[in-house]
Chain A
Amino acid sequence: MEQQQTCSSEEIAEADAKLAKVQLAIEQFKMIKGALIPVLHEVQDIYGYLPEHVLKVVATELNLPLSEIYGVASFYHFFSFTPKGENVIHLCMGTACYIKGAQAVLDRLSTELKVPVQGTTEDNKFTLEATRCLGACGLAPVMTIGEKVHGRLIPNAIPKILNEYK
């Protein structure tokens, strides 16, 4: 499906290395009951999302129908079937953040990035996601970009913060 036609040898090596990691994770969890969700966590850790061709491998190895895997993965918000941008923005929409104006911050992010919520920018730099409570209510409204946390946000602070990542 993805990038099949013009793969360089490095890309092929990288793809193989990732798949090898998945195989390792499957080996590790195969013996435990309820292995599917831990394996999906590993796949998403390795790829950043759940690619179809990898899920097919998981299906074979865990001896589960692909439809069941899709049914489970699609149920949970944490799992994604589409690749994310370089920087994933999680804006907290927990109650404390919402009360303190998170919606206006989210609107501003959406305007500045020109993408809807859950969207990825054309240049693949940013993915904008709204999330349920990051558990840092003291810093409300709060968002994470990658690992970095930005707290006490106001809409006007957004352009400057985004510039740090461009």
Chain B
Amino acid sequence: MKLLTDLDAIRALTQGRLDNRKITGEPAGSIQFRSVMVCGGTGCTSSDSNKIITALEKEVHNHGIQDKVEVVRTGCFGLCELGPVVIVYPEGIFYSCVEVKDIPNLVEQHLLNGKPYDKKIYEKTKQGGEILNFEETDFYKKQVRIALNNCGVIDPEVIDEYIASDGYKALGKVLMTMSRQEVIDTMKQSGLRGRGGGGFNTGLKWEFASKQDKDQKYVICNADEGDPGAFMDRSILEGNPHSVIEAMAIAGYAIGSNQGFIYLRAEYPIAVQRFVKALDQAREYGLLGDNVLGTAFKFNIDVRLGAGAFVCGEETALMHSIEGHRGMPTPKPPFPAVEGLWGQPTIINNVETLANVAQIILNGAQWYASIGTEKSKGTKVFALGGKVVNTGLVEVPMGITLREVIFEIGGGIPDGKKFKAVQTGGPSGGCLTEEHLDCTIDFDTLTSLGSMMGSGGMIIMDEDTCMVDVARFYLDFTKDESCGKCTPCRIGTKRLLEMLDKITEGKGTLDDLVKLENLSVQIKNASLCALGQTAPNPVLSTIKYFRQEYMAHIIDKKCSAGVCKSLISYEIDADLCRGCSLCARKCPTDAITGELKEPYVIDTVACIKCGVCFDVCKFKAVVIV
């Protein structure tokens, strides 16, 4: 078992490693030691960052420079689009799309001779013959990293590095110097609101549970991130798992609980593996278990794997799932803080919420409350995706505008296309348009516009996106994910989907549009849990802001984005066609005919609109009409 003094000793020993991972601006000639950070997040691991690490280690060894270079596998850097990503300190040089074959040159040129390997330097860090460090790029400049503070900096599988980064200091402070109420007051004053979707004040939630006079209470971490298009929880668990463990222990102390559960998505194997490893390390160090840090405080954490049910993000459903039942919600009250898991007081916090806790304890409530807006404090992590240049993970202060996130950090829309909409809050959220770009991002503004913060997916859509189809896509999702317990949600979402299907097939009527809106409102009002209460949001917001697109589908039978198959057909532009016959050869239904070197023709009756001809044509002669 470790004591506070032991942690200090570990910190002193390991601190040097982290000091090496800072941008210093010293001249290349005088650099004695370099840290090579390789992203080990899911995005980069998918594009073989593990092989990069092996190759780097081998090459460093071959040159005999092991004592001058460290190679570290870290959590996510955020800029997933450019993976695998490698950052070299102390210069802060950012390499993107690195391949194994680049490694010998990178090591020889940069690590051995101090000259950055030009070929893979991220384009946007090159300005006027100079190479900027990555923190100066548009993507990183406006970010404030609190929940993601250790992602990309420490090796998540080494507890000593977390400790060196002030890890478990907050737990020590809480156990040694603060009363339970003081912890709760700090959380309340910080203004931290739950990042899982509801946005409820975290300290207040803890206080409710703390006031319950029961012997057994529980702390649950909801790590069942099921929102399509959101992966911040995954990245935190992969890049900074100990921050979640530490926060759960602090929460346990605050409410008087000795048992925590983490409900973790089985579909996230790297996150599961790293979290389980972190748990083992914390237990080994005595940071979990009996007598934490030599005090009388006792706390354990068990892992429960989710099984792919979106509704389990709802807290009562989640608890039923841990109890071994179907994940179906029950009415509130009683709230979990009063009567939760196995009837005992329980608090449920989301991963990102918890990742803020230790920082708040260490730096104080005032510090946290000074970031953000009046009613939305701190930062929010967004998973920026869709039609945006820089897809990835960004953490920004609340109150930043949508325009700053999408156009400055996100780099705008690729391929010269026009921005059309941004969808926030996943299936529970809504679509916002160009006129909202200067609105600030905070809980209340987004809700007032008919969208929501949700867990933080932010999907950008360009002119090639059909908004009716997007609404249909989300309804298809919520219809599948409805647990079926309450009628408005079970049947209502199905009916909504049917009407949207009808409209995208060109069979919709104006009457359907009225019914869509009415039914949406009824489902929102009558559903038992947040899934049903928010399921119609994508429909309502797209009708509100893109009504003309619905009208075009219904009246003109046109899909201007060219997405809805029933409303489009493919034609060959005779002027552009060179008669190469490629489309005819690839067409699965032999709908394309013609003579070589003469323009080809598509038989629209035989055409199944699979789009293969459109994809294969090298002359852009196949057009959607």
Interface residues of A (CB under 8 A from B): 32-38, 40-41, 71-72, 75-79, 93-96, 98-100, 104, 107-108, 111, 131-140, 142, 149, 151, 154-156
- Chain B residues contacting A107 (CB-CB under 8 Å) are 610
Given the contacts A99-B386, A99-B387, A151-B47, A34 and B231 also touching, CB distance less than 8 Å: no
> Are B386's CB and A100's CB within 8 A?
yes
CB distance from B600 to the nearest CB of A (A): 18
Contact B305 A133 (CB under 8 A): no
| Minimal beta-carbon separation of B472 from chain A (angstroms) | 10
Residues of B within 8 A of A138 (CB): 43, 79-83, 385, 391-392
Interface membership of chain B positions 292-331, coded 1 if the CB is closer than 8 angstroms to chain A and 0 otherwise: 0000000000101111111000000000011111110000
Contact among B46, B307, B325, B616 with A79 in the assembled complex (CB-CB below 8 Å): B307
Contact B342 A33 (CB under 8 A): yes
A107 and B302 CA atoms in complex are apart in Å by 41
**Which residues on B sit within 8 Å (CB–CB) of A94?**
228-229
Residues of B within 8 A of A142 (CB): 46
The reply to whether A155 and B611 contact each other, CB–CB distance below 8 Å, is yes
A131 to B81, CA, bound (A): 21
A77:B610 contact, CB within 8 angstroms: no
> Of the 9-residue stretches B147-155, B161-169, B457-465, B506-514, which lies at the interface with chain A?
B457-465
Given contacts A96-B229, A137-B80, 12 further A-B contacts (CB under 8 A): A33-B324, A40-B307, A41-B307, A76-B308, A77-B308, A78-B266, A99-B386, A135-B231, A137-B43, A139-B47, A140-B385, A149-B47
Verify if B423 is at the interface (C-beta below 8 Å from A).
yes
Within 8 A of A (CB), among B3-47: 42-43, 45-47
CB distance from A92 to the nearest CB of B (A): 8
Contact of A76 among B229, B327, B342, B461 (CB under 8 A): B327
A37-B321, A41-B305, A142-B46 as given contacts; A137 in contact with B383, CB under 8 Å:
yes
Are A95 and B386 in touch, CB under 8 angstroms? yes
Beta-carbon contact of A132 and B324 below 8 Å: no
Q: How large is the interface on B (under 10, 10 to 19, 20 to 34, 35 or more residues)?
A: 35 or more
B43, B266, B457: which has the most chain A beta carbons within 10 Å?
B43
Given contacts A34-B304, A132-B477, A136-B43, contact A99 B459 (CB under 8 A): yes
Whether the Cβ atoms of A95 and B323 lie closer than 8 Å is no
Nearest Cβ distance between residue B584 and chain A, in whole angstroms? 16
Q: Compute how far the CA of A134 lies from the CA of B483 in the bound complex, rounded to whole angstroms.
A: 21
Tell me how far the C-beta of B413 lies from the nearest C-beta in chain A, rounded to whole angstroms. 12
Chain B residues contacting A76 (CB-CB under 8 Å) are 307-309, 327
Pick 14 A–B contacts, CB within 8 A, sort by A.
Answer: A75-B309, A77-B307, A95-B457, A96-B391, A96-B459, A99-B387, A135-B231, A135-B268, A136-B42, A136-B231, A137-B231, A138-B83, A138-B385, A142-B46
A140 to B79, CA, bound (A): 13
Listed in ascending order, the chain B residues whose CB lies under 8 Å from chain A are 42-43, 45-47, 79-83, 225-231, 234, 266-268, 302, 304-310, 321-327, 342, 383, 385-387, 391-392, 423, 426, 457, 459, 461, 465, 470, 473-474, 477, 483, 588, 610-612, 615-616
Contacts of A140 in B (CB 8 A): 385-386, 391
- Residues of B close to A139: CB separation below 8 A: 43, 46-47, 80, 83
CA of A104 to CA of B609 in the docked complex: distance in angstroms?
11
With A75-B327, A76-B327, A94-B228 in contact, is A111–B308 under 8 Å at CB? no
- Determine the distance from Cα of A40 to Cα of B324 in the docked complex, in whole angstroms: 10
Residues of A within 8 Å of B391, CB to CB, are 96, 137-138, 140
Q: What CA separation (Å) do A72 and B308 show in the bound complex?
A: 12
Contact A155 B267 (CB under 8 A): no
Q: Is the CB of A149 within 8 A of B46?
A: yes
In the bound assembly, the distance between CA atoms of A14 and B500 in angstroms comes to 50
Determine which of A37, A72, A136, A155 lies in contact with B46 in the assembled complex, contact meaning CB atoms within 8 Å.
A136
Beyond A95-B229, A149-B46, whether A135 also contacts B234 by CB under 8 A is yes
Which residues on B sit within 8 Å (CB–CB) of A154?
615
Q: When A76-B309, A78-B307, A107-B610 are in contact, do A135 and B461 touch as well, CB less than 8 Å?
A: no
Contacts A72-B325, A77-B307, A136-B80 hold; do A95 and B47 have CB atoms under 8 A apart? no
Bound Cα distance from A142 to B237, whole angstroms = 21
How far apart sit A108 and B43, CA to CA, in the bound complex (Å)? 24
Q: Which of A72, A93, A98, A133 has the most CB of B within 10 A?
A: A133
Residues from chain B with a CB closer than 8 A to the CB of A93 are 228
Which residues of chain A have C-beta atoms less than 8 A from B45's C-beta? 149
- Return A97 CB to nearest CB of chain B, in Å: 8
CA distance in complex: A95, B387 (Å): 11
- Alpha-carbon distance A111/B587, docked complex (angstroms): 12
Return chain A residues, CB-CB under 8 Å to B234.
Answer: 135
List B contacts of A37 (CB < 8 A). 304-305, 307, 321, 324
